[in-house]
């Protein structure tokens, strides 16, 4: 057996690879470590809950409607910290650059990173650079790691019966924006990536009410994220298809390409499990932020297992965890 692109796509196949990669005895520093397979780790240091995460980015093309690999690299790490309840403080950046890469493109990428850092309130404090011979890479690979501080630690395994499922906005935007641009479809500004730093949005939601579980639906999209949350929490999740926010342009493009928008990566959205009594207050907080204006309550948590979709025509079907993201190289 050898590694394939599917092993990096965020679905069930990637889980097979992770079972090999996580065979490490020293994987917990006294808090929430690698064994949790969450968006990050939590390391208690004195009175502080330090959140730590890392992410690598290999998007193609490097520049796409709504963003680029620079903005993506910062937002991806900031959002992983935020999903654990961590306020982002400091990030590192490692770049592996192909010989012949245009300095002007590198300058553009760094500007995007700086703009995203300013927006998130974090700082880039250290880094590393390597250059590979021409043909060894597809342009550039960026790794970012980050640390933050959490007053309230949130995990993706915290769903409870009676919780409401919230999403902070429209689904499928990022993956479809990258794919249609990659394939040369001329759609103007109809489909744009949602890539954005979410700490400010999450901070407001945490202040508005209790949040039992959070996850950003990146590789594998909403379908992967909600299945992982349900499985880890040992509950059933019932989703209302009519409540799911998907832009008409994204839905149309997905149908044309034979792709389920629920399985496509997002880079500026969060899925939350919130107790019923706090759901309206948290929803109002999300909608008051520019990145949450399309937020919606899309489902509920019950006893049982699996994720059920109640369709618009009155039927039911399972939302299955995807084998992998149908759109490779998007994050």
Domains of the chain: 5-150 (3.30.1330.10), 164-318 (3.90.650.10)
pLDDT of residue 23: 67
Q: Cα separation of 108 and 67, whole Å?
A: 11
Average of per-residue pLDDT across 87-94 = 98
Cβ atoms of 262 and 170 closer than 8 Å: no
Q: What are 152-164's pLDDT values in tens digits?
A: 999 999 999 999 9
What tens digit of pLDDT does each residue of 37-48 get? 767 899 999 899
Q: Render pLDDT for 223-240 as a digit per residue (tens, 0 to 9).
A: 999 999 999 999 999 999
Distances in whole angstroms, Cα of residue 218 to Cα of each of 17, 83, 262, 270? 18, 12, 11, 9
Q: Is residue 276 over pLDDT 90?
A: yes
Q: CB neighbours (10 Å) of residue 276?
A: 12
Average pLDDT over residues 289-297: 98
The predicted structure's pLDDT at residue 118: 98
Per-residue DSSP letter, 103: H
Query: Has residue 187 got a pLDDT over 90?
Result: no
Nearest to 79 by CA among 140, 148, 15: 148
Q: DSSP string covering 175-190, please? A: HHHHHHHHTT---TTS
């Amino acid at each position: 057996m050898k590694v394939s692109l599917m092993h990096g796509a965020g679905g069930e196949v990637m889980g097979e690879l992770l079972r090999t990669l996580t065979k490490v005895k020293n994987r917990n520093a006294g808090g929430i470590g690698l064994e949790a397979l969450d968006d990050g780790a939590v390391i208690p240091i004195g009175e502080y809950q330090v959140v730590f995460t890392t992410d690598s980015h290999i998007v193609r093309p490097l520049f796409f409607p709504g963003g680029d690999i620079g903005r993506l690299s910062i937002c991806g790490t900031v959002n992983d910290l935020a999903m654990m309840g961590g306020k982002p403080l400091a990030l590192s950046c490692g770049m592996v650059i192909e010989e012949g890469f245009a300095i002007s493109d590198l300058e553009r990428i760094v500007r995007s990173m700086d703009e995203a850092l300013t927006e998130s309130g974090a700082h880039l404090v250290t880094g590393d650079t390597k250059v590979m011979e021409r043909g060894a890479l597809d342009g550039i690979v960026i790794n970012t790691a980050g640390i933050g501080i959490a007053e309230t630690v949130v995990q993706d395994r915290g769903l409870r019966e009676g919780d409401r499922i919230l999403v902070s906005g429209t689904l499928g935007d990022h993956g479809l924006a990258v794919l249609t641009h990659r394939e040369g479809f001329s759609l103007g500004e109809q489909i744009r990536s949602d890539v954005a730093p979410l700490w400010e949005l999450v901070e407001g939601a945490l202040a508005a009410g209790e949040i039992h579980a959070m996850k950003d639906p990146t590789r594998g999209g909403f379908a992967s994220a909600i299945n992982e949350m349900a499985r880890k929490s040992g509950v059933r999740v019932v989703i209302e298809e009519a409540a799911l926010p998907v832009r008409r342009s994204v839905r149309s493009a997905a149908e044309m390409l034979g792709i389920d928008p629920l399985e496509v990566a997002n880079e500026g959205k969060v899925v939350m499990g919130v107790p019923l009594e706090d759901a309206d207050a948290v929803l109002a907080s999300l909608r008051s932020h520019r990145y949450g204006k399309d937020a919606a309550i899309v489902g509920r948590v019950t006893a049982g297992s699996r994720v059920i979709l109640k369709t618009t025509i009155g039927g039911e079907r399972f939302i299955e965890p995807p084998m992998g993201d149908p759109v490779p190289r998007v994050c």
